[in-house]
Amino acid sequence: MDAFFATIADPALFATVLRVMTPLLLAGLGVLISDRAGVLNIGMEGMMLVGALTGVLVSAYTGNAWLGFLAALIVCGFVGWVMALVVNGLGAHLIITGIALNMAAAAGTTLVLFFATGDKGMSGALKSEVLPNVGIPFIADIPVLGPLVSGHHILTYLALLSVPLVSILMLRTPFGLRLRAVGMDPKSAATAGISVKRVQAAALVLSGVFGGAAGAYLSMGYVSWFASNMTAGRGFIAIAVEVMGMGSAWGALAASLILAVAETAAITMQSLGLPHELMQMIPYVVPIVVLTVYVSRRRARQLV
């Protein structure tokens, strides 16, 4: 038990929580944007894989981490655009397309990794770059608060900064209004002169960009390599983040923070030999409960 408290009191724990939270938050915001436009992006898991691999490959060949990051954003945005094309252009089933994207991405990234390195498992042979941690000047020097706030990964700050930005985008801009209108009632939106296809395409591209950022964080921050299937279900937890956050960016922040604490606890329990599977279930059970309570409450209100 002493060991347990010693681990909890560890100042590095907060940093671990943020490390775990960052990909969930980025991907969760991506899912949120797509879902509010009525095109729930089940393919987030696959997009993250593509982003992670792109980041590693491009940064290894150019020697520049930022170029790798940029490429991950562009490629995943493109994947989102293709998804929009398949769903709205070809008229394929949205959920089937998402499942297909996950499948294709899992297979495709392994394939590309094999052709690039000759290895199907890991990109260890490539010398890829990582994005830096940043210290905030002045604040870093403050005792207690400094180490807590400063010195995290740059994408962690970016993810936290994205929360108000996405919130403003969705709630305070004409584009956000159109996007929510399309998601709520596509026919009425079309009657009001909004191009449903174009708005949904934009939402999926944006969703892809966030997925790319989340993936790039995994391979260029969380660790410094790409491994096949390294997302390990985070894309699905991202859907859970969106559901738990009730479709708001701040809610997504709260949800990803809670899930990150749970996962950190799971890692800690694992190192102490406790049943960590229980904690690993949390990210998947809590959203079901939240969703059920939320929906049945709304239903009860409508009945009254």
* Range 218-277, binding another protein (CB under 8 A): 233, 236, 239-240, 243, 275, 277
* Range 140-169, binding another protein (CB under 8 A): none
Closer CB to another protein, 12 or 288, in the complex? 288
Q: Does residue 183 interact with another protein by CB under 8 A? A: no
Q: Is 122 helix (H, G, I), strand (E, B) or coil?
A: strand
The angle subtended at Cα 75 by Cα 181 and Cα 21, nearest 5°, is 70
Closer CB to another protein, 104 or 194, in the complex? 104
Question: Computed over its alpha carbons, how large is the radius of gyration of the chain?
Answer: 20
Q: Does residue 121 interact with another protein by CB under 8 A? A: no
Handedness of CA 163, 166, 170, 173 (dihedral sign): positive
Per CB under 8 A, the list member of 39, 101, 163, 196 interacting with another protein is 101
Q: Which residue type sits at 81?
A: W
Handedness of CA 264, 266, 267, 272 (dihedral sign): positive
How far is the C-alpha of 44 from the C-alpha of 23, rounded, in Å? 11
> Which residues make Cβ contacts (< 8 Å) with residue 254, sequence separation at least 6?
244, 245
Closer CB to another protein, 12 or 107, in the complex? 107
* Range 68-97, binding another protein (CB under 8 A): 86, 89-93, 95-97
- Contact residues toward another protein (CB under 8 A) are 40, 42, 86, 89-93, 95-97, 99-101, 103-104, 106-108, 110-111, 114, 120, 233, 236, 239-240, 243, 275, 277-278, 280-281, 283-285, 287-288, 291-292, 295-296, 299
